[in-house]
Homo-oligomer: A and B are copies of this chain.
């Protein structure tokens, strides 16, 4: 997004993964009470992204919808599973060439990990970095995370890639397929804080611009060990469970095998694990993501 260009259309997304109820029910609520998300200076739209997966309480039906938004995939007519078709439909409603191109997207996800209130941003999206700096300044519970250019893949773009500027909200710990009132209310408050920021931005009232930010930057995934049948053979070590964003030192316990052996972190510098024990990552065999903690200047 060009610096200082006004936002005209903002899209709030939930239910991109059908078993992440916080975002899904927030969208239902906003569709029922649209005045909650109405702001003077821009139009707020909502998207319940994967209704079929929600009905079946599954992350996706055939393919992760949040990997379907590269231009290559959107233009590939041979890709025709449920999520491929849904992505094309969403692109036609809200993409660059649609009647309602979106200036800013935020997509509400939830996680079984204790990542609290996390904002996932892209390194090169200055607008979102400024927003994240502002929000984490006014609410110290908020953490800011970036996959950098490393993950998941340039060919597997998320839904939020439809707009030039976007963030993903990731809240937890919460089990798949349930609502938790405390998390629901905190997430709703975060949505309102974002909308209020966008409104202030549009009317030139962002007063205290934050130009520094603590960013947790993805460096690598840690995989569960497996046996010859591909079955995982370890769990998160009890000392690390629910310790997202806390420093992990060389030789700290990381995993515990099913037969009771501790596997320690073998790196040579401090890292900050995130996505520790995310249910959706078991299918890839990922136990956690390691990050480095940076103080960056925007």
Query: Which A residues contact B (CB, under 8 angstroms)?
Result: 25, 28-29, 32-33, 57-58, 112, 173-182, 184-185, 231, 235-238, 241, 256, 258-259, 277-280, 282-283
Whether A175 pairs with B237 at a CB distance below 8 angstroms is no
Q: Classify the interface of chain A: helix, strand, loop or mixed.
A: loop
The answer to whether B235 and A277 have CB atoms under 8 Å apart is no
Which residues from chain B contact A283 at a C-beta distance below 8 Å?
Answer: 57
* Contact call B277/A180, Cβ cutoff below 8 A: yes
Q: Which residues of B contact A278 (CB under 8 A)?
A: 178
Cβ-defined contact, A178 with B238, below 8 A: no
A33, B259: Cβ atoms closer than 8 Å:
yes
State the oligomeric state as a number of copies.
2
Q: Complex formed: what's the CA distance from A57 to B176 in Å?
A: 12
Complex contact A238–B25 (CB within 8 A): no
Asked if A176 and B179 sit within 8 Å, CB to CB, the answer is no
- A185 nearest CB neighbor, chain B only: B238
Expressed in whole angstroms, the minimum distance between the Cβ of A9 and any Cβ of chain B is: 25
Which residue on chain B has the smallest CB distance to residue A25?
Answer: B258
Additional pairs, 15, CB under 8 Å, beyond known A112-B175, A179-B277, A181-B241: A25-B258, A29-B258, A32-B258, A32-B259, A33-B259, A173-B175, A175-B176, A176-B177, A176-B279, A177-B280, A177-B282, A178-B277, A179-B236, A180-B236, A185-B238
Distance in Å: Cβ of A273 to nearest Cβ of chain B: 15
Bound: A256/B173 CA distance, A: 19
Given contacts A181-B235, A181-B236, A236-B181, contact A279 B175 (CB under 8 A): yes
Q: Which residue of B lies closest to A177 (CB)?
A: B279
Q: Which residues of B contact A282 (CB under 8 A)?
A: 57, 177-178
Expressed in whole angstroms, the minimum distance between the Cβ of A146 and any Cβ of chain B is 25
**Whole-angstrom distance from the CB of A38 to the nearest CB of chain B?**
16
